[in-house]
Amino acid sequence: MERDLPLELIERVWQKARPAPRLDPDSVRQDCFGAWIYRHAFGDRASAYGWDLDYIVPPDCGGRGELDNLRPLQWQNSLMRGLGRLTRPVSALGLGNALLIID
């Protein structure tokens, strides 16, 4: 997804991520697979905690780039989903992220 998105949209999608108990919800949250994401790491694919905006329904299937069709995903989860191969999602392991094997 493009990096020149309005900051307001990025923030509103960030708010959709799951806050974690006892952690600052303005800084750290979890995506829908449980992977940790850091607010400041939006678009940072060098970070294990980087994240992207992901289409729930892809544009190829009629989805639009509007808030109700966007969600925050840890970047590897977003990449694997985009390739149609979300069989090994990244999820939290303690306070870190781990690549899981899903049967």
The residue-averaged pLDDT of 80-103 equals: 74
Which tokens sit at 56? 């729930």
Instruction: Give alpha helix (H) positions in the chain.
Output: 7-14, 75-82
- Please enumerate, as own/partner, the contacts of 17-26 that have beta carbons within 8 Å and a separation of 24 or more: 17/51, 17/71, 17/72
Which tokens sit at 5? 């998105």
For the entire predicted model, the pTM comes to: 0.83
Each residue of 3-49: pLDDT tens digit?
A: 678 999 999 999 999 999 899 999 999 999 999 999 999 999 999 99
Q: Where are the domains of the chain?
A: 7-99
Asked whether the predicted pLDDT for residue 85 surpasses 90, the reply is: no
